[in-house]
Amino acid sequence: MISEAEKKLLVRGTQINYYFVCKTKLWLFSHHIQMEQESDAVELGKLIHDDTYKREEKGLILDDLISADFMRKGKVLEVHEVKKSNKMEEAHLFQLLYYLYYLKNEKGIEKIRGFIDYPKLRKRKEIRLTHDIEKRLEKILQDIDSIIKGDVPQPQRKKICRNCAYLEFCWS
């Protein structure tokens, strides 16, 4: 079972992803209007995860606080996120960077490497946390809190609306 602390961390990671994808989606998700389980895109993501990575150690929880898509412990801790396409690359990138940021600053883990795996594209991208990125993440977290405290942002039509769980909410 997922712990409260872990849930909070995963919610924060998802908020960062949505910050780049759509501010309306960020607001709706953060106000517990969560419809993602109905989304075909999310289902597809789960299938790719299960089929391609079933031999990997998935969902390994580190000190009951974090579960990225999967991790491996060795001399260096690897944190992986499995994604089905690189269409929202910045969103994926910062979501993973947030996990690295958390592990470094909250858990004191320095030897850490992040990877985004795109099994459909047979690609793996290594991600590094720098001082400048940490500062940018802190700014993003502040922005997210301001957006959530405000009124729901006006939806903006974009390509991804077609596969978004909030499609009907925004456009019917």
**Out of 14, 24, 30, 95, which residue is the one contacting ligand SF4 (CB under 6 A)?**
24
Question: How much helix, strand and coil, in percent to the nearest 5, is found in the chain?
Answer: 55, 15, 30
SS3 58: strand
**Out of 9, 16, 22, 68, which residue is the one contacting ligand SF4 (CB under 6 A)?**
22
Site map (CB under 6 A) of ligand SF4, residues 121-160, x = contact = ----------------------------------xx-x-x
φ and ψ of 74, to 5 deg: -150, -145
**Where do we find the tokens 């998802």?**
14
| Interaction of residue 161 with ligand SF4, rule CB under 6 A | yes
Alpha helices in 108-130 (DSSP H): none
Contacts with ligand SF4, residue ranges (CB under 6 A) = 22, 24-25, 155-156, 158, 160-161, 164, 166-167, 170
